[in-house]
Amino acid sequence: MALLQLFTATDAAPYAWSLVLAGGTVLASLIPLGAARSAADFEIQDMAAPRAMFERFPDWGKRASWAHQNSFEAFTLHAPAALLALIGSLHSGALPAAAIVAAFAHPALRVAYIAAYVGNVPPLRGLCWASGLICSGLLYSEGLKALISN
């Protein structure tokens, strides 16, 4: 019951959903990676030496692999920020609207980042990466302010 309230309570819900959606982007990054493995004629024997199979990936497939790895790195930065904002909102009430926007913008920016990485669009990729980082930083800041203020 308490978990359900976390996803429906107006103050904490955006940050709980941000965690779920950010985790979903890590899973979504498997889609282009799976396509790259398929393009590299993946066979069960490749499980014995997965890095050797990487050399058979097309260029976009290599970028898909790197985007997938980066998704884990981004998640490890964003998850604590979203948790801090969630705890701060439970402790002090609603956080500023910018924090809610950042909570939902981060997963959207990560999806755009993956597409830009796989599609080899470096300027867009860099913009999405930096914007996502700013979103996480804003959640850290607002969550800390909420906890310190009371």
Q: Calculate helix-pair angle for 59-92, 13-28, nearest 10 degrees.
A: 170
What's the confidence (pLDDT) of residue 40?
85
**Which whole number is the average pLDDT over 87-91?**
91
Alpha helices by DSSP H, the chain: 2-8, 13-28, 30-39, 50-54, 59-92, 97-118, 122-149
What's the distance, CA 94 to chain centroid? 23
Selection from 67, 85, 69 nearest residue 136 by Cα = 85
Map out the domains of the chain as residue ranges: 12-149
Place 9 in a pLDDT band, splitting at 50, 70 and 90: low
pLDDT digits (tens, 9 = 90+) for 22-56: 999 999 999 999 999 889 887 888 778 777 788 88
Percent of the chain residues topping a pLDDT of 70: 93
What's the confidence (pLDDT) of residue 1?
44
What's the confidence (pLDDT) of residue 52?
78
Which residues lie below 8 Å from residue 129, measured CB to CB, with a gap of 6+? Answer: 74, 113
Which residues lie below 8 Å from residue 47, measured CB to CB, with a gap of 6+? Answer: none
Question: In Å, how far are 23, 75, 77, 93 from 106, measured between CA atoms?
Answer: 11, 10, 11, 22
pLDDT digits (tens, 9 = 90+) for 92-138: 888 899 999 999 999 999 999 999 999 999 999 999 999 999 999 99
Question: Which CATH class, in words, describes the domain spanning 12-149?
Answer: mainly alpha
